[in-house]
Amino acid sequence: MAPGGDGVAVSSLDWVNRLADETSPYLRQHADNPVDWYPWGEEAFDRARREDRPVLLSVGYSACHWCHVMAHESFEDPETAQVMNELFVNVKVDREERPDVDAVYMDAVQAMQGHGGWPMTVFLTPEGRPFYGGTYYPRHRRAGLPGFVELCRAVDDTWRNRRQELEGQAERMTEALRQSVLVAGDGDALPGADLVAEAAAGLSAQFDREWGGFGGAPKFPQTMSHEVLLRSFSRSADPDELAIVTTSLDAMASGGIYDHLGGGFARYSVDAFWMVPHFEKMLYDQALLARVYLHAWQITGEARYRQVLDETVCYVLRDLRAPGGGCYSAEDADSEGEEGRFYVWRPEEIREVCGDDADAAIGWYGVTPAGNFEGANILHRPVRGDLERPEAVERARQALFEAREQRVRPGLDDKVLTEWNGLFLATLAEAAAATGNDDWRSAAVELAEFLVANLRREDGRWLRSWHAEAGNGATRLLGFAADHAALVDGFTRLAEFTGEARWVDEARSTADALLTLFWDDKQGGVFTTGHDAETLVARQKDLLDNATPSANGASALSLARLAALTGHDRYRRAAEDIVRLLARSAGAHPTAFAHLLAAVDVLAGPVTEVAVVGERPDLVEVVQRRFLPRTVLAWGEPYPSPLWEGREPGRAYVCQGFACQRPATTVEDLEAQLDPA
């Protein structure tokens, strides 16, 4: 028995059951804590109002290392839990399932502390208004941080003895959150391609010319910024723009942030040279990184970029794929209670596994007796840009991979998130088209079918999350704007890849739902939550790119491309309105608005619409194999669009604004129209 929040002895089952049936693996990890956790919902706030207590909101995610640290230090400690239960109503949130809740209170924490992160710890009034917050707090005071119990008692004292001051702070903070969605747009002005060039110049100024990427440690891949540079290069042919991208891609693929045995990337590097990663591997990173390596391969023809693309997609389809075709969210940094244990090696381990090939592997992967991570070695490639493995190294790699498979794997976050799967669907469809990989084609179609079957209610409303153990699998959580935007792009690119009209229909119905449920009729742009969703203390707009594209940037790009395929002005007007709203900020802060800048690039045009009519796979392949960032492709089954009107079979039509050049009947004719001298 342990003390509950009302001071009465309660069986641990009373709180185990609150989280045990949640769809989030992260919440279920906390189901047996001695903390009297509630999931986010009215039940928790009703109790807080009834008992006049603050709410202690803890936000994290399954692959978050410091979330696990705080859990071990505090939430699993009976004495700490007793204090939490006596003083607060405690609410646990998975930020990946509830980005709306996370965004509201992360804005508050950043305003209070000047920085944010996870785990996020926020104290709220019973009405949900934030009055104090931060990130990780240790069990006992250290490194300038108060101990967590000490903090809890201080908050309680303020709540009981200085309530008016505290509620005033909460009211001011809430009003600031509500005002944060108000953005001054640029009126009727629609930016042109010069804004993309301006952004590329800004990125060049921030570029780390020695190690690639932008800024210092910790260093994130910033894939969307690299995509801006590739788009700018497609217009300018400026070798410096391409060099920024290739330098970064070579440095990342040679560093420890890349998994040289199993493929895929860790979330970020704790240093400036990509050596020591934070070892968690996220689905969204694989989707976005595979995409930029695909585009680099299409532009340069360099085999090393194709190799990274192949290995990254292989990692996802091997280790993150759910039965039925969906993709799981992430793998943890930790295994057996240690960060990175699954991934690191000592020389003697390599010699034992690899035998006669050990010396080749030790030299190739920069292994030393001293190691580069807590006495062990994170495998990396000391010679940057050289990934084509000699036979002995490849034999050793396979042996090491098979030996590693016998280790205890990092924890798997096996929920399926609509947004992240939409991102990967778009990449997988585009990559399958460019490479002609039939296995990837099957996986892309199966993934799309999984989403349609499992993440959409019978009434057509998209949902956020799915988990095999959660009832029928579908969460109760309504999908967000970012989910819809990612799906529109994924379905559109699948239609361009397969030539199946049904995927255009899916893209259109999802786009219509996006504009119906999320559009701001007063100012433009999309809200994070739908008009039918739960009301929070502030209704946010996701404006800035973070680890994933912002909902508004993703919406603008997906709607602009869908408009080019279908000829529907509603989609183009919405995309233009979002760009007008944010263009002023995008030029000044390209890393924060990179995905929006991709929409600017498309809308600035000219967009090339290609229609291949009849059975001409040779002509379809000409388009699919190229990096053509301002081109859309219609082929296969006709659907409502001006691109199909009056077209003769056996020909390819290259159009701009649906006005077409002479029909191309040969590969050479089409190549000449797509690649004019």
CB neighbourhood size of 606 (10 A): 12
Last residue of a domain, one of 604, 629, 647: 604
Are residues 637 and 520 located together in one domain of the fold? no
Q: How many domains are there within the chain?
A: 4
pLDDT digits (tens, 9 = 90+) for 243-293: 999 999 999 999 999 999 999 999 999 999 999 999 999 999 999 999 999
Distance CA 283, CA 266 (A): 10
- Residue 459 predicted with pLDDT over 50: yes
Confidence of residue 17 (pLDDT cuts 50, 70, 90): low
State the CATH number of the domain containing residue 283: 1.50.10.10
Residue 644 falls inside a structural domain: yes
Are residues 443 and 574 located together in one domain of the fold? yes
Question: 175 by DSSP, 3-state: which?
Answer: helix
* Number of continuous H segments (helices) and E segments (strands) in the chain: 25, 20
Distance CA 475, CA 27 (A): 13
Are residues 564 and 614 located together in one domain of the fold? no
Residue 186 falls inside a structural domain: no
Percentage of residues of the chain with pLDDT beyond 70: 95
Residue 61 falls inside a structural domain: yes
Last residue of a domain, one of 179, 214, 248: 179
Are residues 394 and 502 located together in one domain of the fold? no
Q: Is the dihedral of CA 67, 73, 77, 81 positive or negative?
A: negative
Identify the burial level of 541 via C-beta atoms within 10 angstroms of its C-beta, where 0-12 means exposed, 13-18 middle and 19 or more buried.
buried
Mean residue pLDDT across the chain: 93
| Averaged pLDDT for residues 400-407 | 98
Residue 254 falls inside a structural domain: yes
Residue 273 falls inside a structural domain: yes
Identify the burial level of 8 via C-beta atoms within 10 angstroms of its C-beta, where 0-12 means exposed, 13-18 middle and 19 or more buried.
exposed
Residue 517 falls inside a structural domain: yes
Are residues 152 and 66 located together in one domain of the fold? yes
Are residues 378 and 419 located together in one domain of the fold? no
- Residue 206 predicted with pLDDT over 50: yes
Residue 185 falls inside a structural domain: no
* Dihedral pair phi/psi, residue 236, rounded to 5°: -95, -25
Are residues 596 and 652 located together in one domain of the fold? no
Distance CA 228, CA 237 (A): 13
| Averaged pLDDT for residues 457-470 | 91
DSSP string, 86-117: HH-EEEEEETTT-HHHHHHHHHHHHHHHS---
- Residue 62 predicted with pLDDT over 80: yes
Are residues 138 and 238 located together in one domain of the fold? no
Are residues 554 and 568 located together in one domain of the fold? yes
Last residue of a domain, one of 179, 213, 233: 179
Domain that residue 107 falls in: 2-179
Residue 184 falls inside a structural domain: no
The residues with which 373 forms a beta bridge, in sequence order, are 376
Are residues 419 and 531 located together in one domain of the fold? yes
Do residues 646 and 636 touch, judged by C-beta distance below 8 A? no
Model pTM?
0.94
pLDDT digits (tens, 9 = 90+) for 660-670: 889 999 999 99
pLDDT digits (tens, 9 = 90+) for 76-113: 999 999 999 999 999 999 999 999 999 999 999 998 98
Are residues 26 and 49 located together in one domain of the fold? yes
Are residues 258 and 315 located together in one domain of the fold? yes
Do residues 451 and 425 touch, judged by C-beta distance below 8 A? yes
